[in-house]
Every structure is written in C-alpha cells, then in structure tokens.
Structure 1
Amino acid sequence: MSSTSGIDNTYTNPAYQVGDKTPSSSLDKNGFLKMLTEQIKNQDPTSGQDPNQYFQTISQMTTVEQLTNLAQQSVTQLAQAANSNATSLIGRTVSYIGKDGLPVSGVVDAVDLTGKTGPRLSVAGVAGIDPTVLTTVK
C-alpha cells in the first residue's frame, strides 16, 4: 500500500486568491470621467452622436457630487452640534431612565467626545450615558 504526501510549492493565481479586497460597486466621478473620455475617443465618427447627451450626463454627475458634498457637510455639522450640546450640560442636573428601569438623577461631571457614536456623558460618576436618553435637564 502506498502512501501519499501533501503537495508542496503550489501556485495559485492571484485572481483566485481570497483576500480583503472588496470590489466597489459604485463609480466615482474620476472613474466616470475616464470611462466617458474613452467612450468619446473610441466612438465611431460616422455615427451621429448627440454631444448634448454627454454634457447632460456630466452636468448630472456634477449635481450629484455637490449633493454628496452637502450631505457630508450636514453630517459634520450635526456631529459638532451634538458635541456642543453635550458639553453645555456640564454642571447641570439631568435625569434619565437607568438600566433597571428606574429614573436616575445627577450632575453631569464630564463629557467624552472620543466615541464614534457621539458624545457620552458622565453623570454623578456613571460614565457612558447617551445624551439622547435624558428625560429632564435642570
């Protein structure tokens, strides 16, 4: 009876290797413009292409880009407002519903602005209170 040994020095084409590469399913403005430029360069000069169609498409892409920029600015401003509102609570007495379902009151000692989900309050030594769960502010 013969035995088999493992295969050594195998080669796998990089196209078949599983990695952390997640292909993008969206097309950014630079990719779109490259694709549009190639399409214009390679079009048939004898076919009647309407140049207005290209300008309309570019105009729409510009509009979408500006709306995306506006949305990003709004998110940034909203985060800054949340941080500002949370820091204005320092020294104020607040109430919230605790984990046991009972109301808890205390003075806001500090605000942690380093969290990814927004600011967190420290109320009477209890850290990690979400400002959105406050029921009263005095």
Structure 2
Amino acid sequence: MTNPVAGATGTSTYTSTNGAPTAKQQTMNSEVFLQLLVTQLRNQDPSSPMDTNEMMAQTTALASMEQLTQLTGLTGESFSLQMRAAASALLGQTVEYVDENKVTRSGTVSSVSFADKVPMVTVNGTAIRLDALLGATTAA
C-alpha cells in the first residue's frame, strides 16, 4: 500500500506491507513512477479503461527516466576518474595556489591523495584541493 505522493516536491512516504513506514523519497525515481502507474491501472474505471497510447507514453517515460538516471551516474564516475588522472599528472609539476591567508604560493607536487571526493595534492607539505589550484608548470 502507498500513501499519495505529497505535493509537487516529489517527496513521498511509503508504508511497507507490515505497516511500518519506510524512508521518505526526495526525488521521483523509477520505483515511485512504477507504483503510480500500477495504482492508476488498479483504480481505473472499467467502463473507461486507460488509453493504450497514454500507457505506452508513460512506459516510455519510465524507460527514459531510468536511462537518464544511469547516464547521470556514469557521467559522475567519468568526471571523478578525470579528476584523479589530472591530479596524478601533476606529480613533480610546479603548481600555484592561494593559501588560507589569500597569498599566492607555488611549489612542487610531491604526492596525491584520493581519500576525499576531490583529489588532494601535497605541495611543500600542505594538502591542497585539486580544484583550488591556479595553474601548473613543468618543473625545471
């Protein structure tokens, strides 16, 4: 059984078969979409069934949404790999960055860490986020 989807925010609450509420959904995912379609089919008027064209359009929309969700995940993974490759390529390079005192500094990248979401490079003993670097040059 499901409770109706609340408002236009996409937030919904589900009740499992044992009656315990499950976690709230923050976005419309394929499960929510499919449950809405099934509920619509169950509650349709037998004397006026759902138009097959409308059902095909909704099924196509579900398939498209699933593919877009998968593509978004792959794009994020690709970006993460590109950042890691860029950070690795900086090893031994001279880079410039702005420190916490707003002073522009430079130094040679001695190590790279992938422990956080954004790679960190170590310059003169200081860990710097990859996206905080101003530029890089090949060490002489």
Whether TM exceeds 0.5 here: the answer is yes
The separation in 2 between residues aligned to 1:132 and 1:26, in whole angstroms, is 29
What amino acid is aligned across from residue 87 of structure 1 in structure 2? S
Counterpart position of 2:125: 125
1:66-81 paired onto structure 2 within 5 Å: 66-81=67-82
SS, match of residue 82 in structure 1 = helix
1:110 deviates by: 0.5
- Counterpart CA distance in 2 for 1:126 and 1:50 is 64
Looking at structure 2, the residues matched to 27 and 135 of structure 1 have their Cα atoms a distance apart, in angstroms, of 39
Provide the C-alpha distance between the structure 2 equivalents of 1:52 and 1:41, rounded to a whole number of angstroms.
Answer: 17
Helix, strand or coil for the counterpart of 2:67?
Answer: helix
Tell me by how many angstroms 1:48 deviates: 4.5
Residues of 2 paired with 1:120 and 1:74: CA distance? 21
Alignment: residue pair count:
116
Alpha-carbon distance in structure 2 between the residues aligned to 1:38 and 1:99: 56
Show the counterpart of 2:62: 61
Structure 1 segment 12-91 matched on structure 2, within 5 A: 22-91=23-92
Residue 106 of structure 1 aligns with an amino acid whose one-letter code is G
The alignment's C-alpha RMSD in Å is: 1.9
Which structure's CA Rg is the greater one? Answer: 1
User: Which ranges of 4 or more aligned residues in structure 1 deviate by more than 6 Å?
Assistant: none
Relative to structure 1, the CA distance from residue 123 to residue 54 in structure 2 (aligned partners, 3 Å threshold; closer, same or farther) is: same
- Aligned-pair identity (%): 28
**Offset at residue 135 of structure 1 (A):** 2.3
Q: Per the alignment, do residues 48 and 115 of structure 1 end up closer, same or farther by CA in structure 2, a change over 3 Å counting?
A: closer
What is the aligned partner in structure 1 of residue 134 from structure 2?
135
2:46 and 2:134 map into 1 onto residues whose CA distance is 69
SS of alignment partner, residue 116 of structure 2: coil
- Gap regions ≥5 residues in structure 1: 1-20
Distance 1:46 1:87 in 2: 66
- Please tell me the residue identity of whatever aligns with 1:79: S
Query: Per-residue displacement from partner, 1:12-43 (whole Å, max 9, x unpaired)?
Result: xxxxxxxxx75224443234324423432443
Q: Partner letter of residue 136 of structure 2? A: V
- Please name the residue that 1:7 is paired with: none
Query: SS where residue 54 of structure 2 aligns?
Result: helix
